[in-house]
């Protein structure tokens, strides 16, 4: 989609920003918040950028076995 084919440059972006701000400001259920598409994914990405990607126990075990097989250092937690 090319919004600038229909409106002046920046008008679409401002309208979308205003819409999203209004959407997120709407009342939510108790202990919840109103989110726009992508909000959860961006929050998850920020958390994983800061804390790393969680690995389930099956993959942790598989990586230990690979490290032993190839005689390399196993994965360690980045703290």
Domain with 19 in it: 7-69
43 domain-assigned: yes
Task: Work out how many domains the chain is built from and give that number.
Answer: 1
1 domain-assigned: no
Encode pLDDT of 18-62 as tens digits: 999 999 999 999 999 999 999 999 999 999 999 888 999 999 999
45 domain-assigned: yes
26 domain-assigned: yes
Check pLDDT > 70 for residue 65: yes
Residue 53: name the closest of 77, 27, 21, 28 by CA.
77
11 domain-assigned: yes
Residue 26: name the closest of 16, 37, 34 by CA.
34
61 domain-assigned: yes
78 domain-assigned: no
Looking at residue 39, what is its pLDDT?
Answer: 96
Check pLDDT > 70 for residue 79: no
Looking at residue 72, what is its pLDDT?
Answer: 97
Cα gap 10→25, rounded to integer Å = 22
């Amino acid at each position: 989609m090319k919004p600038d084919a229909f409106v002046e440059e920046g008008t679409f972006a401002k309208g979308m920003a205003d819409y999203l701000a209004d959407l997120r400001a709407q009342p939510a259920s108790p202990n919840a918040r109103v989110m726009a598409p992508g909000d959860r994914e961006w929050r998850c990405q920020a958390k994983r950028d800061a804390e790393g990607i969680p690995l389930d126990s099956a993959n942790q075990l598989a990586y230990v076995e690979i490290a032993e097989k190839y005689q390399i250092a196993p994965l360690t937690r980045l703290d």
